[in-house]
Each structure stands twice: as C-alpha cells, then as structure tokens.
Amino acid sequence: MSTQLRDTAHELAGLLWREHTLYRERTGSVVIRGAHVERWISLSPTGGKDQVLIRAGRILEGGTTAPARSETVASLTLGMGELATVCRRLLADTAAGPAPRATGRPPKMPRPGRPKKTKAAGRPGRAARMSRHTGFASWLVILAVAALVALFLRNVTAAL
C-alpha cells in the first residue's frame, strides 16, 4: 500500500502544482507540499481496501504546517483526474477561511498624518493596574499565616 500511495502522490503532485515537495511521514502518510501556494495535501492509508484519507491544510509563515482544515476519504481506484478534483476541492475549502497566523495578529501600520498614541497619554494598561492591587486570595493567605503564628505563640507561652 505504501508504494502505491507514494506513486499516486507523486503523480497527483504533478497535476496539482508545478513546484512541490513530496515526503513520507513516520505514520506512513505521504505529504505533498506546495510552498509557493502555502498549502499542503496529505494522503494516508485507511482501514479500507484501496481507500485513502486526504487531508488539506496551510503552511504558516515560518514554514511550519497548520493542522488540517478539511479532509475526506477517497478511493484509489478513481482516476488521477478525479483524485486531483477532490484535492482541489479540499484546497479551495482550506483557502476559504481566514489564514491562521503563527504570531497572533498582524502588526498595525501607522496611518500617515496622525500622531501615534502612547500608553502614557491614556490610562495605564491592565498589567500596571493589577500589579498595585492586593487580591482577595492574597489577603486570605496573609490572614491564615497570621492565625498560624498566633496559635504557635499561644502554645509556646502556655508551655512556659
């Protein structure tokens, strides 16, 4: 099954993208990476005869792969054209949603002609506000420690 899967993936990669990288994972699945389109397709064997699990996902900024966004099971008895159509549909589903970002949200670009706002001009940020406040849990810990010290001192003075 693994050689059939590798041969199918190699032929399928040529139909999907001109530039691609093909590699095999430890699990036995074969991954087709199209770095120029920032997408990947994975072909994994399933429990059924001549069936393959096809998964599609995105490639993030640093070259890492995001988890699969769409998947389906297809038969290897289909022609190469039909398998390519299934893969293209999965890739289209992958492209439909917003792109996941590895670093969070994109950096904001300053608008021309407007002065940049600073934190000093407005109210302090959450971290600055929270660092000056003693929380309820802290007061409970302080009271418990004070009660233990008082109990210890009472027992020590009673023993003398």
DSSP symbols for 98-148: PPP-SSSSPPPPPPTTSPPP-TTTSPPPHHHHHHT---HHHHHHHHHHHHH
Q: How many residues in total does the chain contain?
A: 160
Domain residues for the domain of 139 are 135-159
Structure-token pair, residue 5: 């899967």
In a domain, 92, yes or no: yes
In a domain, 28, yes or no: yes
Residue 148: per-residue pLDDT = 95
Q: Which residues of 96-106 are buried (b: 16+ CB within 10 A; e: fewer)?
A: eeeeeeeeeee
In a domain, 104, yes or no: no
Residue 145: per-residue pLDDT = 95
In a domain, 12, yes or no: yes
Residue 24: per-residue pLDDT = 84
Same domain, 87 and 8: yes
pLDDT tens, residue order, the chain (160 aa) = 678 888 888 888 888 888 888 888 888 888 888 888 888 898 888 877 788 899 988 888 877 777 778 888 988 888 888 888 988 898 888 876 555 454 455 555 555 665 555 555 555 555 555 556 678 888 899 999 999 999 999 998 888 7
Residue 124: per-residue pLDDT = 56
Structural domain total, the chain:
2
Name every residue whose Cβ is closer than 8 Å to that of residue 117 and which is 6 or more positions away in sequence. Answer: none
Residue 150: per-residue pLDDT = 94
Residue 121: per-residue pLDDT = 54
In a domain, 9, yes or no: yes
Whether residue 41 contacts residue 31, with contact meaning beta carbons closer than 8 Å, is answered with yes
Same domain, 20 and 84: yes
Domain boundary among 96, 114, 143: 96
Same domain, 77 and 139: no
In a domain, 123, yes or no: no
Residue 104: per-residue pLDDT = 52
Residue 75: per-residue pLDDT = 87
Same domain, 155 and 86: no
pTM for this prediction: 0.57
Name every residue whose Cβ is closer than 8 Å to that of residue 131 and which is 6 or more positions away in sequence. Answer: none
Domain boundary among 96, 119, 147: 96
